[in-house]
């Protein structure tokens, strides 16, 4: 039976019982409106732990003033139903007041404490068009880690920069938590599943698959030994040609450090894209392995 918990005190009682019986806890943080991508994280978590906790919390701190916080889809009942079908033990869905009693829920930080990841990870890629976003992400994830106190956590590669920042935070702050990453779940045409896909019109939904095709084209070019500069320029044009209204970035980076990379190096590379269809901003990425 899945337990839906809103209060931290209630969760702590359950956690104490689990701790007393040496249960290994895996934690999957989400903003809800769950899809197969989220479910794949849950299934991975179940393989590695005795108990699985999924949080559902639309975190105001990680949304900019003109972003989609208000219209972000909230579907708690169906989410809990789906998670109980999967056999999740606890769904933790705290109220904003419980998470931010010190009024940090504004992206400016208000009067509360914030977690500031290193600028070299936050001033790039999505951090450039979403100032403060990763501070909001790091702050909520550390708070949730402290509340749930899991032994391991699962994050999706879909949000590659976020995953890199969480791994860096866990290492830098000596958190006793193992971070597991899960591959990106895609629709049949390659579009990465995302709660934001439902903002797309039918036409935009068709155009959206160009992101994955572009990632594959760049990956092919890199494997042929081409330089990323040329491939990126071509990709930007292709996305606009396919109907995108703007391209925030197309970038080729080192898979761990996220440093800019001109060619496919020994460690491989990750290609990342953020592009807009109307007001909907989509992100995706593809890891390219070094040639054997």
Size of the site for ligand AMP (CB under 6 A): 17
What mask of x and - would describe binding to ligand AMP in positions 5 to 34, judged by CB under 6 A? Answer: -------------------------xx---
> Would you count residue 41 as binding ligand AMP (CB under 6 A)?
yes
Name the minimum Å distance from CB 13 to ligand AMP. 26
Contact range with ligand AMP by CB under 6 A, out of 35-43, 69-77, 139-147, 237-245: 35-43
- Answer whether 135's CB lies under 8 Å from 112's CB: no
Cα four-point dihedral sign 292, 253, 157, 113 = positive
Active-site annotation holder among 35, 38, 133, 237: 38
Q: Is 182 a binder of ligand AMP (CB under 6 A)?
A: yes
Tell me how far, at minimum, the Cβ of 33 lies from ligand AMP, in Å.
7
For 205, the enclosing helix (H) or strand (E) is helix 202-208
194 or 228: whose CB is closer to ligand AMP? 194
Q: Compute, in degrees rounded to 10, the torsion defined by CA atoms 73, 77, 83, 86.
A: -120
* Site membership for ligand AMP, residue 62 (CB under 6 A): no
* Residues 142-181, mask of contacts with ligand AMP (x by CB under 6 A): -------------xx-xx----------------------
Report 77-136 residues binding ligand AMP (CB under 6 A): none
Check if 38 is active-site: yes
Strands 3-5 and 90-92: parallel
Tokens of 166: 């969480």
Q: Which of 49, 138, 148, 185 binds ligand AMP (CB under 6 A)?
A: 185
Instruction: Yes or no: say if 154 and 26 are a contact pair by the CB < 8 Å rule.
Output: yes
Task: Transcribe 85-119 into DSSP letters.
Answer: HHT-SEEE---HHHH-TTSTTSTT-TTS------H
Which one, 157 or 234, has the nearer CB to ligand AMP? 157
Alpha carbon distance 52, 29 (integer Å): 11
Who contacts 94 (Cβ-Cβ below 8 Å, separation ≥6)? 6, 7, 8, 55, 57, 147
Residue with smaller CB distance to ligand AMP, 41 or 250? 41
In angstroms, rounded to a whole number, what is the distance separating the alpha carbons of residues 66 and 81? Answer: 32
Of the residues 2, 104, 161, 194, which one makes contact with ligand AMP according to CB under 6 A? 194
Q: Which is nearer to ligand AMP, 197 or 234 (CB)?
A: 197
Task: Return the number of the residue (159 or 264) whose C-beta is nearest ligand AMP.
Answer: 159
Say if CB 121 and CB 272 are below 8 A apart: no
> Do 134 and 162 meet the contact criterion of CB atoms below 8 Å apart?
yes
User: Minimum Å distance from CB 155 to ligand AMP?
Assistant: 4
Listed residue (212, 186, 225, 194) closest to 271, CA to CA: 212
Tell me whether residue 197 or residue 217 sits nearer to ligand AMP (CB atom): 197
CB of residue 229 vs ligand AMP: minimum separation in angstroms? Answer: 29
Return the active site residues.
Answer: 38
Residues interacting with ligand AMP, by CB under 6 A?
30-31, 37-38, 40-41, 155-156, 158-159, 182, 184-185, 192-195
């Amino acid at each position: 039976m899945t337990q839906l918990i809103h209060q931290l005190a209630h969760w702590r009682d359950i956690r104490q019982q689990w701790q007393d019986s040496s249960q290994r806890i895996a934690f999957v943080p989400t903003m809800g409106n769950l899809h197969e991508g989220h479910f794949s994280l849950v299934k991975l978590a179940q393989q590695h732990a005795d108990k699985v906790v999924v949080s559902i919390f639309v975190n105001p701190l990680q949304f900019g003033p003109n972003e989609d916080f208000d219209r972000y889809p909230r579907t708690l009942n169906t989410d809990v139903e789906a998670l109980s079908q999967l056999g999740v033990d606890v769904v933790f869905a705290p109220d904003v007041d419980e998470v931010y009693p010190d009024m940090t829920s504004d992206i400016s930080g208000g009067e509360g404490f914030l977690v500031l990841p290193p600028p070299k990870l936050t001033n790039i890629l999505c951090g450039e068009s979403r100032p403060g976003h990763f501070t909001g992400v790091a702050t909520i994830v550390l708070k949730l880690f402290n509340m749930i106190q899991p032994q391991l956590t699962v994050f999706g590669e879909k949000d590659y920069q976020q995953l890199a920042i969480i791994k860096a935070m866990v290492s830098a702050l000596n958190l006793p938590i193992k971070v597991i990453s899960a591959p990106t779940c895609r629709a049949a045409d390659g579009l990465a599943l995302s709660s934001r896909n439902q903002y797309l019109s039918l036409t935009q939904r068709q155009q959206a698959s160009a992101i994955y095709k572009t990632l594959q084209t760049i990956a092919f070019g890199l494997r042929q030994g081409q330089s990323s500069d040329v491939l990126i320029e071509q990709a930007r044009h292709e996305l606009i040609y396919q109907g995108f209204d703007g391209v925030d970035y197309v970038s080729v980076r080192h898979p761990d450090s996220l440093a800019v990379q001109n060619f496919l190096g020994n460690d491989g590379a990750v290609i990342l894209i953020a592009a807009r269809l109307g007001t909907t901003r989509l992100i995706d990425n593809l890891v390219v392995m070094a040639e054997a």
